[in-house]
Amino acid sequence: MRTIFHLDLDAFFVSVERILDPSLKGKPVIVGGDPKYGRGVVAACSYEARVYGLHSAMPIRTAYKLCPHGIYIHGSHGEYSRFSKAVKNILLQYAPIVQQASIDEFYMDFTGCRNVYGSLFAFASFLQKEIWERLSLPCSIGIGSNKTIAKIGSDCMKPNGITYILSGMEKEFLAPMPVEAIPGVGKVTLQDFHSKGIYRIGDITKLPQDYFAAAYGKYGIDIYRKACGEGNEYLIVDNYEQKSISHERTFADVTSKQFLKEKLFKLTGKVCQELRDMDWLASNVHIKLRYSDFNTLTRSRMIKPTDDDKAVFDVAWNMLVKALTRRVAVRLIGVGLSKFSKFSEQQELFEWEEIKRRRMLRAVTKIRDKFGYESLMFGSVDHDKRSLTMVNPFRVKT
């Protein structure tokens, strides 16, 4: 039996913004862009803003309608990763193994540490206090026998909560929760569940597992196991701070290649922007393709280190076209970058055209950091008139 902690920093981006500007305390704060410019989404919002029904991933426009008196800020991403690293450094002092799952989430394996740290509940509260005192960041902790249950645990007593799910009690603990509490159940799956009358996690476990396997394939088995309180017990660790940057989108089944091309174009733009924000170059591009029957495949290719949208898109689209061999609708596509190296300004290594493009991309990154990702978009020149939506209204004619 293992003991896994999941530590989730409460409204992390907002907490950091409040360190930078304490006058934001106690106010509804939304990180993710200015509703006047952006069509972006809420990256994080304070608990004061959640009272108005705001939540992360909600379009900024919707958020603004619900909470017009909120304080909308773009966010200081460099600062978030600094604090995230600082949290990790603190955790590494106590936990034998730490896996960073995202910028504000960490798994720790404390199996066999009871003799060292005594009561795990008291120890979790000590960790909370330590992070609060050192960094002024609030967090919630879930303790369970596997990663999934620990994550669901940390989520259910936010903010500043600690939830300890005793081994053997997982199924009972989960049963009354809504199905969307299971990590990996997104909007599309949720609609599907609702249409079948599945609302609570208990509704899933009442059904036979075979039914799930037949309806949702491997993915279904995975959800079913999670609903029963089972999950991955082992942490993934390696020496790299961040292994890859990727984005994916789930659709209600799509067959149009043109549509996929546009989506891939957008996803590529996002990953490249993140890459440039980190000042990195990537030398590996990978794609992910999931058919409507949940068959999933991935492809990857090495390239010359780059942070250029165009170079990445060309490779990614090429791989996607080759991978699209079945006549089955597509449910999800994703694109990612890995094998990073640091961007350096040794420009003499590059051709003049390349230097010009690099400068342009850096400028684009700066503008987006200031005015939001969607303030400046790349256009793809395509003969298909339907893709006119991709034309950039800000593009200057030359």
Partner 1 sequence: MLKYFIGTAGWSYKDWVPSFYPKQQTSKFDWLQFYSHYFNCVEVNSTYYAYLSPKIVEGWVKKVADSDEFIFHVKIHQDFTHKRKFDEQSIKAVRYNLDILGNAERLGGLLIQFPYSFPYNNSATQYIQELKDIFPNYKSFVEVRHSSWQNEKAFEFFKENDLTFCTIDQPQIGQAIPFKPIITNDRAYIRFHGRNVEAWKKSINSFGKEQSYDERSERYKYLYSPGELVEIEQKIKSIQSKVKELYVIMNNHPQGDAVANAFELIHLLEEKDKVEMPGTIIKAYPRLEELLVN
**For partner 1, which is the closer residue by CB, 80 or 212?**
80
| Token reading at 300 | 């990857």
**191 in contact with partner 1 (CB under 8 A):** no
DSSP at 159:
S
Would the CA dihedral through 186, 307, 273, 375 be positive or negative? negative
| Token reading at 331 | 């449910």
Q: Which of 39, 122, 129, 136 binds partner 1 (CB under 8 A)?
A: 136
Count of residues near partner 1 by CB under 8 A: 18
Alpha carbons 125 and 147: distance in angstroms, whole number: 19
**For partner 1, which is the closer residue by CB, 89 or 298?**
89
Name the minimum Å distance from CB 73 to partner 1.
15
Q: Which of 42, 63, 91, 135 binds partner 1 (CB under 8 A)?
A: 135
**Given 79, 105, 230, 354, the catalytic residue:** 105
Pairing of the two strands 139-144 and 162-164: parallel
| Token reading at 145 | 């026998």
Alpha carbons 130 and 30: distance in angstroms, whole number: 26
Site for partner 1 in 28-87 (CB under 8 A): 76, 78-80, 82-83, 85-86
* Cis preceding-peptide flag for 22 (omega within 30 of 0): no
**16 in contact with partner 1 (CB under 8 A):** yes
Name the minimum Å distance from CB 135 to partner 1.
6
Q: Which of 22, 53, 68, 208 binds partner 1 (CB under 8 A)?
A: 22
Element (H, E) at 213: helix 209-227
| Token reading at 202 | 């208990």
What is the identity of the amino acid at 397? K
**Is 351 tagged catalytic?**
no
**For partner 1, which is the closer residue by CB, 22 or 168?**
22
Which range in 4-12, 29-37, 133-141, 250-258 contacts partner 1 by CB under 8 A? 133-141
**131 in contact with partner 1 (CB under 8 A):** no
Sheet holding 71-73, edge to edge: 44-45, 29-31, 71-73
Active site residues: 105
Using CB under 8 A as the criterion, which residues of the chain lie in contact with partner 1 when the complex forms? 16, 19-23, 76, 78-80, 82-83, 85-86, 89, 134-136
